[in-house]
Amino acid sequence: MTRLLIIGSSHVGALKNAEETFLAGRPDLALDFFGLRAPAFLKSRMDAEGVFHPPEQDEDGRDLILKANGALTVATAGYDHVMLIGYRFGFPEVASLLERYDILGLTDAGHPATIDLVLVEDMIDTMISASLDDVLAALAPANRSLTLCLAPYPSKSIASRAPRMELARELVAFWDHPGASHVFEMWLSRLRSQIEAAGHTLLEQPYRTVAGPFATKPMFARAPDNFDGSAMKGTDHRHMNAEFGLTVLTSFARMIKNTSEAPRPAETPIKERI
Partner 1 sequence: MSDPDADGPPVSPYEGLEDRAFWRSGVVEAGYPPTGLYTPKFPITREVPIFTAGSCFAQHVGRTLRDNGYHVIDAEPAPAKVPEALAQRHGYRLYAARFGNIYTVRQFLQLMLECFDEHQPADAVWEREGRFFDALRPGVTPRGLASPEEVRTSRAQHLNAVREAARQTGLVVFTLGLTETWEHAPSGTIYPTAPGTIAGAFDPQLHRFVNFRADAIKADFLALRALFQTFNKDVRFLLTVSPVPLTATASGGHVLPATIYSKSVLRTAAGELAEDHDDIDYFPSYEIVSSHPSGGRLFEANMRSVHPRGVRKVMKTFLAAHDSADDQTPRQIRRARRLARLAAAEAAQRQKDDAAHEVICEEQLLEAFRK
| Amino acid code (one letter) for 197 | A
Piece of 47-55, 98-106, 198-206, 213-221 that binds partner 1 (CB under 8 A): 98-106
CB of 212 to partner 1, least distance (A): 21
Should residue 201 be labelled a site residue for partner 1 when binding is judged by CB under 8 A? no
Residue with Cβ nearer partner 1 (72 or 117): 117
Backbone angles phi, psi at 183, to 5 degrees: -65, -40
Piece of 31-39, 72-80, 81-89, 116-124 that binds partner 1 (CB under 8 A): 116-124
Piece of 68-76, 121-129, 150-158, 176-184 that binds partner 1 (CB under 8 A): 121-129
The CA-atom distances, in angstroms, between 104 and each of 31, 100, 113, 127 are: 48, 13, 9, 21
Residue among 145, 3, 26, 147 nearest 79 (CA): 3
Task: Count CB atoms within 10 A of the CB of residue 56.
Answer: 9
The CA-atom distances, in angstroms, between 127 and each of 97, 123, 185, 250 are: 12, 6, 15, 29
Should residue 171 be labelled a site residue for partner 1 when binding is judged by CB under 8 A? no
State the Cα–Cα distance between residues 64 and 72, nearest whole angstrom. 9
- Residue of the chain from 62, 100, 264, 273 that contacts partner 1 (CB under 8 A): 100
Should residue 139 be labelled a site residue for partner 1 when binding is judged by CB under 8 A? no
Piece of 18-26, 58-66, 99-107, 239-247 that binds partner 1 (CB under 8 A): 99-107
Should residue 97 be labelled a site residue for partner 1 when binding is judged by CB under 8 A? yes
Residues comprising the chain, all counted: 274
Q: Are 215 and 154 in contact (CB under 8 A)?
A: yes
How many residues make contact with partner 1 (CB under 8 A)?
18
Chain residues that interact with partner 1, rule: CB under 8 A? 93, 96-97, 99-101, 104-105, 113-119, 122-123, 126
